[in-house]
Chain A
């Protein structure tokens, strides 16, 4: 008896390349993992997208940042190079505008992500490290924003940086040293730009990228957390969808929507460039830090009114540091889902934090009008 073997269908070029890579990288295992991974579906699923949106906006910043790097010249030529990017280079204004808007949108998205994680209690065991790394990423993102803001060296960024550096100055003992190190001298100058540039494009990415990788790995390892209301339901009632391709498709759609929001803002409200900074002219009226620094700035101001002088500044820094410390350490206080009292206290603390942030920001903008 003879047996006939059915010839295998000829492989396409793409198939052959995939096989080659699969053999070496184990792509099939990754694909199988993604297919089996599930994402919960419930009334609060919308909040799951904000981490992805933050990541997308960070990628946009990397891309536009590298393009800006081609023409940006730190130091004494900083302003002139940004002027050329904005008013001479083809679509230079668009790259710069997209970079600045995506930075602001990213910080907004991270804040939304942070509060959604907080109120879903997604910091509880085993996700404590995810919460801590996320907070560190937010801190680094703020420093990214602060250091990038000065780089154009126009009037607004110059004076806003001067104002912003008052915050570390208020830290007892080490404050003036830290501020002086950041400035590269007694005043904000081209040396400050050079230092901020190094911080912005070398030091911060070197810290941010591995931390981001760690954060994403933790997200993959433990998956999306269920909010308490969903956790209370029996397992068989809960719904979920496969990560691949259903959730990924939706996630990518959110990225596309974010891209549209970014394109709309960058095009209709292109990031302006003011006059060149001049340390000899008085600061124009209404100088204020970026919106995400308005809250600590205003808190310092308000406490300064109550306790004039250095004591007010120190009290402000201490109060703010205490608030942040409690916020960061919340996974070690609100540990178990069974402990209703601590869970409720954490919930109210979150509401108080939102109220304090919003109120001080609104007061800050109201008083500079």
Chain B
């Protein structure tokens, strides 16, 4: 626990990553799918026999590639770097583990990323300036580089859910990188890769509908009809394959985590992860709606398909993608790296050590005051606050998202103490074991955290204490 804790009141630091990541995924997966859409559309236009139609198709593709360049090159890249900042601050321990294992993987991804960015710019700026076939080759180079970035990042993302037994056998020995390929091609790698490719092709079609919807259907009926219909077809592979891929993906997820999906079938109990079931329902409804709207409004009447329809489809896709990413994150609970590191950054093999020596033993970010009476209480409060930020802050806030003030409301000091003790003991029968890390630390740590939480939940106690959490060393 050598890192300072990044405290984001109300929202929680997890949501900072979440919001940036969902925004990024919407664009980066378009960058991959669109990477294939553009050269394939260009190839289609090149084979057109009607010169007028061919001309208007090219004209539209130039507009679409400009939109593509700006969206992916500016918003995609900035949000990608934003994720790096956010995960480094929110999950320093997990980020450290990922870097130690995948530093070369990431380096390779950055090479492809540079190729991707360069070719996207070259592709747009060389329309009608270089030979048609060479221009198409540039498009294919872009497509190849962009899918390579997905192939690499998918290995790292899936590793966090299912690192695999081979890597876990060497985890913590200092030789983790020797099992790079086992960690990379982990159990959920292939279903996740195909799932993401399907989402990429869908997003390519959906974003293309945005630009196609702006064509005046009365003036350019043939162009709009052909482009809208062609773009809708990009949604077909995913809606045929995704249900099967999803089953494959879930099949590869450990049973204990898969069980989280069914928690919310019969309850909405607060403090449990019943939200995952509800999120899964949203994915099903929004995906089905996208199919319906794309078919009835776009494919069946392409001429009338306008920007507001296209934006509605895009928003639905945003909800479906965001929900999917949220559910994937939740499925990892109680870990941030499956069976190796809990969601609060505590390594599974370090629990016994922390229970013996204390959670804050190596922390430089808390005041260890000594004395009696008020001073002792203030010191306990300070340590309790640091433990809250370290052990609970990854997933909870005091007031706001998953607010402990609400979840513990109605409990007195003894009750809060019992609850924390239950989390600390983490017995097999504990209902929280499935989705929450154990509370680690000594008996004194349990008391400190209980005191701090009691002071928040039962405010009169707060008046007797002082907030003294400052880096005093």
**A interface residue numbers (CB < 8 A to B):** 86-94, 97, 241, 246, 249-250, 252-253, 256-257, 259-260, 263-264, 267-268, 270, 272
Contact = CB atoms under 8 A, between A and B. Distances in A.
B241 interface: no
Contacts of B269: 87
Given A260-B285, A267-B281, 16 more contacts: A86-B267, A90-B265, A91-B266, A92-B266, A93-B268, A94-B278, A246-B301, A249-B301, A252-B296, A253-B309, A257-B312, A259-B285, A259-B289, A263-B281, A264-B282, A267-B278
A188 to B, nearest CB: 25
Given A260-B286, A260-B289, A264-B319, A246 B296 contact: no
Most buried by B among A90, A93, A246: A93
**Which 5 pairs show the lowest CB-CB distances between chains A and B?**
A267-B278, A270-B268, A263-B285, A93-B268, A256-B289
Interface string B289-304: 1001100110011001
A263 B301 contact: no
Contacts of A267: 278-279, 281-282
Contact of B281 (A94, A241, A249, A256): A94
B319 A257 contact: no
A257 B289 contact: yes
A88 B300 CA distance: 43
B289 A88 contact: no
Contacts of B296: 249, 252-253
Interface string B132-154: 00000000000000000000000
Contacts of B309: 253
Contact of A253 (B268, B279, B293): B293
Say what secondary structure dominates the interface of chain A.
helix
A206 B293 CA distance: 35
Contacts of B281: 94, 263, 267
21 contacts: A87-B266, A87-B267, A87-B269, A88-B267, A89-B266, A90-B265, A90-B266, A93-B266, A93-B267, A93-B268, A241-B304, A253-B293, A253-B296, A260-B286, A263-B282, A263-B286, A267-B281, A268-B275, A268-B278, A270-B278, A272-B268
Interface string B258-292: 00000001111100000100110110011001001
A256 B266 contact: no
Interface of B: 265-269, 275, 278-279, 281-282, 285-286, 289, 292-293, 296-297, 300-301, 304, 309, 312, 316, 319
B455 to A, nearest CB: 23
A249 B297 contact: yes
Nearest to A41: B304
B120 to A, nearest CB: 33
Contacts of A253: 292-293, 296-297, 309, 312
Contacts of B279: 267
Most buried by A among B285, B297, B301: B285
Contacts of B268: 86-87, 93, 97, 270, 272
A326 B254 CA distance: 65
A250 B306 CA distance: 11
Contacts of A257: 289, 312
Given A263-B281, A264-B319, A88 B293 contact: no
A256 B293 CA distance: 8
A88 B267 CA distance: 6
Contacts of A263: 281-282, 285-286
Nearest to A96: B268
A267 B282 CA distance: 7
Contacts of A91: 265-266
Nearest to B265: A90
A268 B283 CA distance: 12
A227 to B, nearest CB: 19
Contacts of A250: 297
Nearest to B284: A263
Contacts of A252: 296
Nearest to B288: A256
Contacts of A88: 266-267
Nearest to B280: A267
A350 B27 CA distance: 44
Contacts of A93: 266-268
A260 B316 contact: yes
A6 to B, nearest CB: 32
B269 to A, nearest CB: 7
Nearest to B282: A267
A268 B282 contact: yes
A205 B136 CA distance: 64
Nearest to A264: B282
